Structure 1
Amino acid sequence: MKMTSIALALTLLGSTATVTAQTTPPAPATSGSENDVNSPDVAAANRDVEAQAAARQNAVTDANAGAQAGADAQYAADLDAYRAALRAHHREVALDARIAEHKERAYADAMADWRRQVYACKHGSTRACNAPTPDPANYW
């Protein structure tokens, strides 16, 4: 029993020592130029990293500018095509309106002649009674 207690105590002591060793930060090395932030090698490495980051940023900016220029050109082309289609549509609508007005006028003229023909027929004109009904297509 005594042997088990001692083994248990040693195990607990070993685990706390391990936990303590894991949480204690390592002491900074004071000698050597690899940890010195003021050394010329570190400054040169920092400049290299800054230059690489700037080059990547410039590449991304250039790519974005190229894509934006392409999108702007496509937008302008789409807008021009839309405006051209709109003008063509307006011309077609105006032509349709002129045709519809012409058809309405022809129909109205045919109806006016038909009413005169009916009036003449009701007042004894057999020629008006035997005449064909006016066709609006003849009034074009």
Structure 2
Amino acid sequence: MIRKMAMVGLLGALVATPALAQAIDPNQPFNDGSAAASMTAPPGVVVPGQDPGVSAVNRNEAQALAIDTNTARAERNAELQSYHAAVHDYHQAVQARRDTIAMIRTTQSRRDAAYARAMDAWHEQVAACQNGNHQACQAPTPDPAAFE
């Protein structure tokens, strides 16, 4: 019988040893059943997500992330505004170039027409000279600028 008792005591000591051997983590708050601890967990057990130290770090990280996100968002918005301003400037430059080209073409077309009229007048002058009109032979060559 004493042997049985010794066996039961030894068995009980072996079963209880792992629970007694668990080290207490000094970084974890001790759950003594106070209102700050979860009431669903037995005393001595810290419920995951309820550690005030972890919660504080998580809050700090969330705030830092929010600041970083807002900073990145502001930088992106500034870059987008700069991009849109550059695109707007580009479109204005393209339109200005088109306007310049149109003006050059209009001017050149007007000059070409004036030159054509001057050449027609010169051909008439040459024909008159060949037909014996001495005054046509002595006249100066027509100036295209006079036909604009």
Q: Same fold (TM over 0.5)?
A: yes
Match 2:136 to one of 128, 132, 138: 128
2:114 corresponds to: 106
- 1:71/1:124 Cα in 2 relative to 1: closer, same or farther (>3 Å)? same
In structure 2, C-alpha distance between the alignment counterparts of 1:91 and 1:97, rounded to whole Å: 10
Q: Which structure: greater helix fraction? A: 1
Q: What TM-score, normalized by structure 2, do the two folds share?
A: 0.67
For 1:39, the aligned partner's letter is V
Higher relative contact order (CA 8 A, sep 6+): 1
Partner residue, 1:39: 46
Residue 85 of structure 1 deviates from its aligned partner by 2.0
| TM-score w.r.t. length of structure 1 | 0.70
Whole-Å Cα distance in 1 between the matches of residues 86 and 28 of structure 2? 60
Partner of 2:4: none
Distance across 2 between alignment mates of 1:54 and 1:35:
21
CA contact (8 A) 2:28 2:51 kept: no
**Identity fraction in percent:** 28
Which residues in structure 2 correspond to 1:48-127 (within 5 Å)? 48-127=56-135
Aligned equivalents of 1:76 and 1:45: distance in 2? 46
Deviation at 1:31?
3.2
Match for residue 22 of structure 2 among 30, 37, 41: 30
Q: Flag the 1:70–1:36 CA change in 2: closer, same or farther, 3 A.
A: closer
- Preserved CA contact (<8 Å) 2:125 2:136: yes
Q: CA deviation at 1:121?
A: 1.1
Superposition CA RMSD, Å: 2.1
Unaligned 5+ segments in structure 2 are 1-20, 30-44
